Amino acid sequence: MGLLGDLQRQLHAAGGGHQHRGHPGAPAQPAAGAAGGAVRALIITQGPARGHRALRELAAASDLVLAADGGARTARLAGVVPHEIVGDLDSLDATTMRWAARRRVRRRVFPRAKEATDAELALWQARRRGARQVWLFGAVAGRLDQTLANVFLLFAARRLRVAARLTDGRATAYLVDGDAEVRGRRGDTVSLLPLSPVVRGITTAGLRYPLRRGVLRRGSTRGLSNEMTASAARVRLTAGDLLLVHTPR
Amino acid sequence: MGLLGDLQRQLHAAGGGHQHRGHPGAPAQPAAGAAGGAVRALIITQGPARGHRALRELAAASDLVLAADGGARTARLAGVVPHEIVGDLDSLDATTMRWAARRRVRRRVFPRAKEATDAELALWQARRRGARQVWLFGAVAGRLDQTLANVFLLFAARRLRVAARLTDGRATAYLVDGDAEVRGRRGDTVSLLPLSPVVRGITTAGLRYPLRRGVLRRGSTRGLSNEMTASAARVRLTAGDLLLVHTPR
């Protein structure tokens, strides 16, 4: 169990009606949208170096696996063959290039990289291919601006009506849309971070420091480092943008 | 020059009318508010391990140096003696405890740590001691929730009418309040991240990909990884919350 189990549980919790297809070893065409079910996509961005087992689990549970440019290297090192590499392809090393060519991985090249990061381009591409749920596997411990851009891609996904979660293979972050259930273990850390000036009507269950119709203001750290008291926790809110970060202990 | 010079330039740019007092080796009472000038405070949070020289430079240019709990260890390792240690003191190792006791560093102990992180408590304390400008030296590459909480403390500082900047000793992040000048070097990375749903009227100078009364929406990565074309860049906006992240090359 542990991390992988946690991610899997979260993935299942996020979706419902999951049909496990597994991830093909050498993809020809992604099955995206084929069987009529909700398409689950995985977007692999550059880094992190760790979390390879978690990445393989996520890939196995995804219908569509996209590597955002340099993310192809992360995929290769984890032994995950993406359906497609998306981006301006300026960050691909020669070894990964050859590896992808041998496996006939498609490339979706976007010339004007400065209009969006490769991760955002990959998000659009996932949406175009019918994704309704997206996992972003990426660096949340590298350059600050890139970390933040990955977090805020969750808002871009929301605009595209895609349920999105960001993970580095350990912590998972997502926007609470009215109601969220966290599946994990007693002792896990759950942090609530207001991303709008104010978040209202926050009620929690299964956390050591509970809130009852509470208010969190942006900049307040009151919602940080709460602790799960059971294997499930619940967070509801009535208004505002709240980021939930779940870090297994 | 390099990083330290950059930080110094930014510190000076942020303030104006700087009176360099230097940082005492063994502080008795912080000089906070004494000379009638604007008090500059430095808050040292837990981690990062690197950036010690930058930390010493910042300390030397500050009137008041606060360590947020475990940040005292960072201070010790960098050879910086804080005026005060603030927090619930649950993260202090024995060596740092002894080191601080020998130097008679004051402690400001807050019992209810769950209402705020030690970094936020230190921010309040800095404000109480008259700080009008604050540098937050801290981890922006550790646990995602803590990194984000440090970034969003910039909003808490804004509410307290304190001009605040966050740095890990390399990158610097701050909110653009109408107008900001970045001092650095050609080739440095400047990223603009909208933190409100929309940021309007963005005009830049000195960046490779310019904006003229541009609009950035939260979640768009269009403002990411721009590049300085001179030793100074300028960013103006008319409405919205914009985070600027400057990363020297």
pLDDT 10s digits, B78-129: 999 999 999 888 788 999 999 999 999 999 988 765 688 899 999 999 999 9
Residues B101 and B164 in one domain: yes
Hey, is A139 helix, strand or coil?
coil
Q: Do B219 and A143 touch (CB under 8 A)?
A: no
Residues A130 and A147 in one domain: yes
Q: Between A141, A193, A209, which is nearest B152 by CB?
A: A193
Residue with the larger pLDDT of the pair B110 and A94: A94
Residues B76 and B146 in one domain: yes
In chain A, % of residues over pLDDT 70: 82
**Mean pLDDT of the region B136-148:** 85
Residues B140 and B239 in one domain: no
Domain with A113 in it: what CATH number?
A: 3.40.50.10240
Tell me: cis bond preceding A48? Omega within 30 of 0 counts: yes
Average pLDDT, chain A: 86
β-pair partners for A164 = A134
Q: Are B19 and B37 in contact (CB under 8 A)?
A: yes
Residue B38 has a pLDDT of 73
B192-215 pLDDT tens trace: 999 999 999 999 999 999 999 999
A104-119 pLDDT tens trace: 999 998 876 568 889 9
- Show the domain range for A214: 179-247
Residue A4 has a pLDDT of 42
- Does residue B88 lie in a domain region? yes
In total, how many domains does chain B have?
Answer: 2
Q: Do A144 and B116 touch (CB under 8 A)?
A: no
Tell me: cis bond preceding B82? Omega within 30 of 0 counts: no
Q: Do B224 and A146 touch (CB under 8 A)?
A: yes
- Does residue B28 lie in a domain region? no
Residue A111 has a pLDDT of 76
DSSP 8-state code for residue B218: T
Hey, is B135 helix, strand or coil?
strand
Residues B146 and B210 in one domain: no
Q: Show residues of chain A in contact with B122, CB under 8 Å.
A: none
Q: Are A44 and A67 in contact (CB under 8 A)?
A: yes
Residues A88 and A50 in one domain: yes
Q: Do B120 and A195 touch (CB under 8 A)?
A: no
Residues A145 and A222 in one domain: no
Residues A51 and A153 in one domain: yes
Whether B187 has a pLDDT exceeding 50, the answer reads yes
- Does residue B86 lie in a domain region? yes
Residue B138 has a pLDDT of 87
Residue B48 has a pLDDT of 66
Lowest mean pLDDT among A95-104, A186-195, B10-19, B220-229: B10-19
- Taking each helix axis from N to C terminus, what angle separates B118-128 and B144-159, rounded to the nearest 10 degrees? 20
Q: Between B141, B219, B222, which is nearest A141 by CB?
A: B141
Domain with A232 in it: what CATH number?
A: 2.60.120.320
Residues B97 and B203 in one domain: no
Q: Are A47 and A69 in contact (CB under 8 A)?
A: no
- Does residue B29 lie in a domain region? no
Whole-angstrom distance, CA of residue B187 vs CA of residue B207: 9
Residue B193 has a pLDDT of 97
Q: Place B23 in a pLDDT band, splitting at 50, 70 and 90.
A: very low
Residues A152 and A49 in one domain: yes
Q: Which residue among A138, A170, A202 closes a domain?
A: A170
What lies within 8 Å, CB to CB, of B33 at 6+ separation is B39, B129, B130
- Does residue B27 lie in a domain region? no
- Does residue B213 lie in a domain region? yes
Q: Which residue among B147, B169, B191 closes a domain?
A: B169
A132-165 pLDDT tens trace: 999 999 877 678 899 999 999 999 999 999 999 9
Residues A106 and A204 in one domain: no
Residues A241 and A149 in one domain: no
Q: Between B143, B159, B173, which is nearest A247 by CB?
A: B143
Q: Do A158 and B193 touch (CB under 8 A)?
A: no
Q: Which residue among A124, A147, A170 closes a domain?
A: A170
Query: Residue A31: exposed, middle, or buried by beta-carbon count in 10 A (0-12, 13-18, 19+)?
Result: middle
- Does residue B132 lie in a domain region? yes
- Does residue B54 lie in a domain region? yes
Please report where in the chains the tokens 């509470």 appear, as a residue. A214
**Mean pLDDT of the region B210-223:** 96
Whether A1 has a pLDDT exceeding 80, the answer reads no
Q: Place A197 in a pLDDT band, splitting at 50, 70 and 90.
A: very high
